[in-house]
Chain A
Amino acid sequence: MKLWKTILAAAVLSLAAGTSAFAARTDLVIGIALEPPHLDPTAGAAAAIDEVLYANVFEGLTRIGPNGEVLPDLAESWTISDDGKVYTFKLHTGVKFHDGTDFDASDVKFSLDRARAENSVNAQKGLFAAIDKVDVVDPATVKVTLKNPQGSFLYNMGWGDAVIVAPESADTNKEKPIGTGPFKFQSWAKGSSITLVKSDNYWGTPASLDKAEFRIVPDAAAYVPALLSGDIQAFPFFDADSVAQVKDDPRFKVVIGATEGETILSINNKKPPFDKLQVRQAISYALDRKAIIDGASAGLGQPIGSHMSPANKDYVDLTGRYPHDVAKAKELLKEAGLENGFKATLKLPPPAYARLGGEIIASQLRDVGIDLEIIPVEWAQWLDQVFTKKDYDLTIVSHTEPNDIDIYSRKDYYFNYDNPAFDKVIADLGVTSDEAKRKELLGQAQKILADDAVVGFLYELPKVGVWDAKLQGLWENAPIQANDLTKVKWSD
């Protein structure tokens, strides 16, 4: 009798185990290349912070959607005054932070005031520059008054740097992030992994995943074995050169999308001979973008003709402005009085697109008589010498911030570009919120940059994602650097 009971119990147990194997998985391990230095999106520029926390743990008034659109988030709706200066946000109610404290308008005021405070070290402080004051109308309503109308204000509030934090936990978010999102932070094994778990008291649609682990895999050589062994099920930012190893494997999906990373050959516009328009135009004619994309990015990535992503709704195709034309380039150099060519340096930061692309570009420029000396630099050196001290001739870098065409109008920016006509367009853009007018102005801006050949526009950095074929809901494009897991689930 006892034996029968045991056998029965075993049968029931194995049946239970069997059925649970058929239910969809609810855990996910995601591979990321860089470890975030800390976990507070409002206190650092590192993209890795947002790649783990954006939309998952922290939420803002608005958020950026999978295709770069502005969506409501903690603010369920808003109204804008006729002069475009006062934004009144209606907030969701019943929202709680992960530590159990309530979210209301005072948290919004606290977060925005903290980010724009004098002693703030928010890496994107410029996002908040237009804010004049933030007023709490009632617990579910907050009024933001701007110094001047700002067309991109709602978009700005969707950045990871503008997420809403609580006064109780703001100072400890670096180690123990407390947000309002569908996932809460569980643990961080430094150098190894960061684990998020589903939040039980989420105000919106709950996540499908119960647990998500971000595992840090710094070396691209380890990506493929990690996928094949099943240890890691998704690499949202995969290595372009390793795609060939998995693209024919039916167990995996390879998804090529667009980023906001304009990869450019930056030119020091004040340094002779690059201060001459003909020289910069000659460089643009000398570049063969297809060869660069093939060599530096395994053939993935779309060519660009100005500083705008082809995935952007305001994109103007200017890739035909300077077709690859060696004779024309030589002619322009002759006009500039440099028919015998000249020597210059090309400083290359560590990413593959720069190091590989740099060699190809050096050989293409040599064809028109420009002799480049390649100088590899680390990021820290690059930021110091090139970006801060502007001690460079040419460099290659991908500008990954979204909608960042305004960098060309910044005073003292490392391009050393100065064009009042362009500055005027950007200034107008800043105070325009009408969509059609903005499109017109953005088109003008792109065209001026192309005409001036400010830099050598190369290609849009692709987002190469590889994940388990049964996984759904990961972003195809990267309008911002994030891994939004709120809609991710396993199909059966």
Chain B
Amino acid sequence: MTAYLLKRIAVAIATLLLASMVVFAVLEILPGDPARLMLGMNASADQIELLRNQMGLNAPLALRYLHWAGGLLSLDFGRSYTYSVPVIDLVSERLAVSLPLALIALALSTIIAIPVGLFSASRRGRAGDTISMGAAQLGVAVPNFWFALMLIYVFAVWLRLVPAGGFPGWSAGVWPALKSLLLPAVALALPQAAILARVTRSALIEVLSEDYIRTARAKGLPYRAVLWRHALRNAMIPVLTILGLQFAFLLAGTIIIENVFYLPGLGRLVFQAITQRDLIVVESVVMLLVAAVIAVNLLVDLSYAVVDPRLRSRQ
């Protein structure tokens, strides 16, 4: 187990290093000068040169990479070109929105998907299965920005239960902040839940045809107990894999939902930073996300071992 863990960590570090080079190189190739973008169309060439020097953009490429990568090691992410504040401050402000949003959406999606998957699998081919899988198909097919707009019109414009968008900040109180994350979380959770329900169903159906399920039934265990205790646990591995992928997506891939609800999330920060050529922010956030994805994958791998004792003993 320890050797396995060490190997996994070594791979993770190598991946991070490689990713840092790729990210840095790609963004350097990107056309567009951050200094020109900040000073606009009326600035002279001299002024732009002056600002480029001030921002440290005129140093050699390798030197700038080492400076940046060295900073990352000591958790110094540098300063944003456009906002001129430390990147870490920007990121932590955005994470205060994106992390709770991702967690709520993930929780919602799991709470919806697992029971639906179980229900469908246990009624395979019957009306209940057809209806719930039809609904799941719809959930996957409906574009989430449209669904989000519908939610806004019903709950914010007609019923006025929640705000139509925006984020008051956690300093405004836990409830107002949560309230503003509710609709976006639902909008994000629905398609994820639909996917997860389908994965849960097919994994369960596969497990349910295994011999040990028949044995369990034959020894007299009630169907419900077989489903929950034996089948679901064995079907968890594909479900956990999907959950891990979904979490990484929910953390940064939510730019569309963030735009519809004008939430100051991580996705929008990256998007804005790219259009403004705030390269240092893009580079640092992308690296942070790479690290997050690697960490989540590591966790998922470890959780396999938790749900499946066979994996534990084999390693």
Contact = CB atoms under 8 A, between A and B. Distances in A.
A119 interface: yes
Nearest to A397: B41
B38 A44 contact: yes
Interface residues of B, number: 51
Interface string A217-244: 1110110011011110000000000000
Interface stretch (A99-107, A355-363, A378-386, A432-440): A378-386
Contacts of A189: 93, 167, 169, 264
Q: What is the interface of chain A mostly: helix, strand, loop, or mixed?
A: loop
Interface string B34-53: 10111111111001001100
Contacts of B84: 38, 174
Interface in B243-265: 259-265
B245 to A, nearest CB: 26
Nearest to B34: A380
A140 B156 CA distance: 53
Contacts of A226: 164-166, 262
Contact of B42 (A126, A190, A381): A126
A431 interface: no
B145 A231 contact: no
A215 interface: yes
Contacts of B40: 44-46, 123
Nearest to A125: B47
A136 interface: no
Contacts of B15: none
Contacts of A38: 82-84
Contacts of B33: 380, 383-384, 388
B43 A125 contact: yes
Contact of B164 (A125, A126, A225): A225
A383 B37 contact: yes
Interface in B113-162: 145, 149, 152-153, 156-157, 160
B32 A37 contact: no
Contact of B261 (A46, A222, A388): A222
B259 A191 contact: no
A124 interface: yes
Given A123-B40, A222-B260, A225-B156, A231 B276 contact: no
A86 B42 CA distance: 26
A224 to B, nearest CB: 9
Contacts of A219: 259-260, 262
A368 B212 CA distance: 77
A401 interface: yes
B163 interface: yes
A37 B36 contact: no
Contacts of A218: 259, 262, 268, 272
B274 to A, nearest CB: 8
B201 interface: no
Contacts of A191: 93-94, 264-265, 268-269, 272
B145 A221 contact: yes
A319 B169 CA distance: 51
Contact of B149 (A192, A193, A221, A229): A221
A46 B38 CA distance: 7
A413 B84 CA distance: 30
B163 A381 contact: no
A383 B83 CA distance: 20
Contact of B36 (A46, A125, A174, A383): A383
B44 A381 contact: no
A387 interface: yes
Contact of A222 (B39, B259, B277): B259
Nearest to B259: A219
Contacts of A385: 31
A229 B42 contact: no
A381 B32 contact: yes
Nearest to B171: A189
B216 interface: no
A188 to B, nearest CB: 10
B264 A380 contact: no
A421 interface: no
A124 B94 CA distance: 32
A59 interface: no
B90 interface: yes
A51 interface: no
Contact of A121 (B30, B39, B261, B264): B39
B152 A225 contact: yes
A288 interface: no
Contact of B262 (A190, A217, A229, A379): A217
Contacts of A228: 153, 157, 164
Contacts of B51: 121
A228 B84 CA distance: 36
Given A192-B167, A231-B166, A121 B50 contact: yes
B165 A217 contact: yes
Given A225-B156, A226-B164, A229-B156, A37 B169 contact: no
Contacts of A119: 50
B38 A45 contact: yes
A262 interface: no
A401 B42 CA distance: 9
A260 interface: no
Given A190-B93, A379-B275, A385-B31, A221 B260 contact: yes
A45 B165 contact: no
B315 interface: no
A231 B180 CA distance: 12
Nearest to A118: B50
Given A191-B264, A222-B164, A121 B157 contact: no
B54 interface: yes
Contacts of B153: 225, 228
List the 6 shortest-distance A-B pairs measured between CB atoms, nearest first: A45-B40, A191-B264, A380-B32, A37-B82, A219-B259, A229-B164
13 contacts: A38-B84, A45-B43, A126-B42, A189-B167, A191-B265, A192-B262, A193-B166, A225-B156, A225-B157, A226-B165, A229-B152, A229-B164, A380-B30
Interface of B: 30-34, 36-44, 47, 50-51, 54, 82-85, 90, 93-94, 145, 149, 152-153, 156-157, 160, 163-167, 169, 259-265, 268-269, 272, 275-277
Given A123-B38, A222-B262, A228-B157, 12 more contacts: A120-B47, A125-B44, A189-B93, A190-B90, A192-B264, A218-B268, A219-B259, A221-B145, A226-B164, A226-B262, A228-B153, A384-B33
